[in-house]
């Protein structure tokens, strides 16, 4: 049927205009519009009604209004809420209600917004782009900036202390050098989990090296271990180094 309609348009419009010369697009459109109206008003051979009559009686009653807002392309993705009650998309972290830690949520991602849904219900809405790596909404945070007892700054500090003084210094730096301690949970887990692959002794020596070069970060420590740069270091205690100093450090009293 589509091919027949194209043939009708060619015969009733294009063929009738083939000898005309138009000097602007608006004149051509006006001529096409006039012939199109004539074609649609012409009765069909079998049904004895025009195309326009069929549109008014069949199509128009079934039409719905256009959406009030233009269509916006959205990408969908699933993500698991980390222990710091954030999900990650394109290396940026977005907060969700802390009660959803460990749950799988859906992300609806547009050019400007990230909508987080849990079981079909919206639980968070963030601007997709912004300053900094974290987009944290205060009402998503647990009281006193603390998750339940399963994960807390104290647990990370105790874990690090069992490995060594340098590891403890690095973990403390991750927790204290953040707007909220939870923002350092991912880095702490990444650092401490290196002991599974390299052992406590190598991790401790890598932390010594990271502190010495002034880069106590997960990325630096992982690189040191991967390349074996800590193996040639002499055995030394972290107490021999100057403590890390930063304007945002809270000090041990913050966790009491």
How far apart CA 39 and CA 9 sit, in angstroms, is 8
User: pTM of the full predicted structure?
Assistant: 0.45
* String of DSSP letters for 24-77: SHHHHHHHHHHHHHHHHHSBPTTT-SBHHHHIIIIIGGG--PPPSS-----EEE
Sequence-distant (6+) residues with CB within 8 A of 213 are 220
pLDDT in tens, the chain (256 residues): 667 888 888 888 999 999 999 999 999 999 999 999 999 999 988 888 999 999 999 999 999 998 888 889 999 999 999 888 899 999 899 999 989 999 999 999 999 999 999 999 999 999 988 777 888 888 887 765 544 445 678 889 999 999 999 999 999 999 888 776 777 888 898 999 999 999 999 999 999 999 999 999 999 999 999 998 887 666 554 444 445 555 545 554 554 4
In sign, the C-alpha dihedral spanning 155, 159, 162, 163 is negative
| pLDDT at res. 45 | 83
Q: What tokens does 199 get?
A: 């052992």
| pLDDT at res. 240 | 43
- List helix spans (H) across 68-217: 153-163, 165-176, 185-192, 194-212
The β-bridge partners of 121 are 118
């Amino acid at each position: 049927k589509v091919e027949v309609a194209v043939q009708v348009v060619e015969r009733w419009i294009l063929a009738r205009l083939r000898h005309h010369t138009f000097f602007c697009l608006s004149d051509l459109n006006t001529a096409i519009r006039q012939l199109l109206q004539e074609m649609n008003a012409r009765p069909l051979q079998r049904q004895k009604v025009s195309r326009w009559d069929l549109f008014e009686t069949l199509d128009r009653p079934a039409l719905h209004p256009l959406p009030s807002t233009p269509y916006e392309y959205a990408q969908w993705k699933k993500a698991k809420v980390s222990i710091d009650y954030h999900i990650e998309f394109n290396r940026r972290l977005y907060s969700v209600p802390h009660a959803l830690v460990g749950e799988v949520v859906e992300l609806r991602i547009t050019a400007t917004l990230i909508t987080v849904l849990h079981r079909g219900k919206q639980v968070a809405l963030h601007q997709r782009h912004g300053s900094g790596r974290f987009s944290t909404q205060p009402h998503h945070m647990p009281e006193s900036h603390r998750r339940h007892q399963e994960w807390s700054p104290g647990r990370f500090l105790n874990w690090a202390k069992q490995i060594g003084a340098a590891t403890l210094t690095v973990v403390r730096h991750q927790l204290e050098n953040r707007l909220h301690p939870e923002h350092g949970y991912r880095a702490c887990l990444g650092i401490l989990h290196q002991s599974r692959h390299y052992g406590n002794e190598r991790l401790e020596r890598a932390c010594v090296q990271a502190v010495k070069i002034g880069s106590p970060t997960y990325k630096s420590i992982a690189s040191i271990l991967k390349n074996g740069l800590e193996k040639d270091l002499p055995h030394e205690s972290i107490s021999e180094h100057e403590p890390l100093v930063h304007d945002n450090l809270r000090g041990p009293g913050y966790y009491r």
